[in-house]
Structure 1
Amino acid sequence: MEEEIVDSPDQWVAQHIRRFVETGGQARPGMNDLLLTTRGRRTGKLRRTALLYARDGDRYILAASDSGADRHPAWYLNLVAEPGAVVQVGAETFAVVTRTATAEEKPRLWRLMVDMMPAYQEYQETTGRDIPVVIAERAV
């Protein structure tokens, strides 16, 4: 029996996940969208959310912005607790290993994210926390 995946409680994100699945990953053509499935650090349940990503070679780069909220998003905290996750890009699904970008790596990777979506800079200016950048690499 396949384990149940719980989609984001945010209504807009949950609708976006449904469109992503229904369209084989083409919910918003021209946008770098992916689905990220993590294991809940407290519940142990599989949790799925939709995120924008940038590419850095073979790596997928994510910003844990939570739209500038003063707390880290649950998906990021789940990855800190368990760095293994599953990503769906387009119709392809694969396992990844994640980590938070180091202080040396972050400026260049953050610029990739802001260049793709300038609102990330506004999110950083809105919150008192430093928005983490996550690097996801295919698991071998």
Structure 2
Amino acid sequence: MAQQQPPNGGIMRRVSVALRPFFQWLTTTRGFSRVAPKIIPPADRFLNRISGGRVLMGDQMIPHLLLTTTGSKSGLPRQTPLACLPEADGTFLIVGSNFGKEHHPAWSGNLIRTPEATVSIRGRVVPVTARLLTGPDRQQAWDALKAHWPVYDHYTERSGRELRVFRLVPRTPSPAETPNS
């Protein structure tokens, strides 16, 4: 007996595949890089909150996660929705593209200062340790990321900087991160 697809699951998947080239182009425009940082992260955080951590807008195009870092100046939790590349070993690759802007995103500085963070992905919360990649590790990850979302090359050109690439490695939660501790 054939497995049944959810009623709209197949349609949504086909639509997102068909629209992917348009969204790749759209994300390379200067207008998008000016407007998107003000609209997309707050909307994504809201959507993630009301869906119980199961949904982020960009997930229809490429996998996304909600990264929670510790603010390097404030010490407060900071949440950022990000595109990611899940790896077979359970790690995640993320890029500090900052929509192609000239400066690195604040979350990347937060990870350099405090590499312990959490990710929320499809309803799961995973404690992670971030590792800034350099040398051959970065190049290998960069090649995989560009194949996954070619827009990153455009962001590198426009920003005039090498985009930071992090590998998020799952870890055992500390007692402070464990509920009912």
- Deviation larger for 46-55 or 110-119: 110-119
- Deviation larger for 87-96 or 22-31: 22-31
Residue in structure 2 matched with residue 13 of structure 1 by the alignment? 41
Residue in structure 2 matched with residue 108 of structure 1 by the alignment? 140
Query: Aligned with 1:41: secondary structure?
Result: coil
The structural deviation recorded for 1:129 is 1.2
The structural deviation recorded for 1:94 is 1.6
Please point out which of 142, 149, 152 is paired with 1:120: 152
**Counterpart residue identity of residue 20, structure 1:** N
Instruction: Supply the RMSD in Å over aligned alpha carbons.
Output: 1.5
Q: In the TM superposition, what whole-angstrom CA distance separates every residue of 1:64-101 from its partner, at most 9, and x where no partner exists?
A: 11011111100000000000001001000021000111
Please point out which of 43, 54, 63 is paired with 1:25: 54
Query: Aligned with 1:104: secondary structure?
Result: helix
Residue in structure 2 matched with residue 130 of structure 1 by the alignment? 162
Identity of aligned residues (%): 26
The structural deviation recorded for 1:127 is 1.6
**Counterpart residue identity of residue 16, structure 1:** D
CA contact (8 A) 2:56 2:65 kept: no
Is the helix fraction higher in 1 or 2? Answer: 2
Tell whether 2:62 aligns with 1:34.
no
> Higher Cα Rg: structure 1 or 2?
2
Is the strand fraction higher in 1 or 2? Answer: 1
Whole-Å separation in 1 of the counterparts to 2:123 and 2:96: 23
Whole-Å separation in 1 of the counterparts to 2:161 and 2:154: 13
What are the within-5 Å matches in structure 2 for residues 18-97 of structure 1?
18-23=46-51, 24-28=53-57, 29-30=59-60, 31-57=62-88, 58-97=90-129
- Deviation larger for 66-75 or 23-32: 23-32
Aligned length: 132
- Work out which structure has the larger RCO, using CA pairs closer than 8 Å and 6 or more positions apart in sequence: 1
Whole-Å separation in 1 of the counterparts to 2:148 and 2:49: 23
> TM-score w.r.t. structure 2 length?
0.68
> TM-score w.r.t. structure 1 length?
0.87
**Counterpart residue identity of residue 35, structure 1:** L
Whole-Å separation in 2 of the counterparts to 1:12 and 1:54: 19
Query: Aligned with 2:103: secondary structure?
Result: coil
> Any stretches of 5+ residues in structure 1 without a counterpart?
1-8
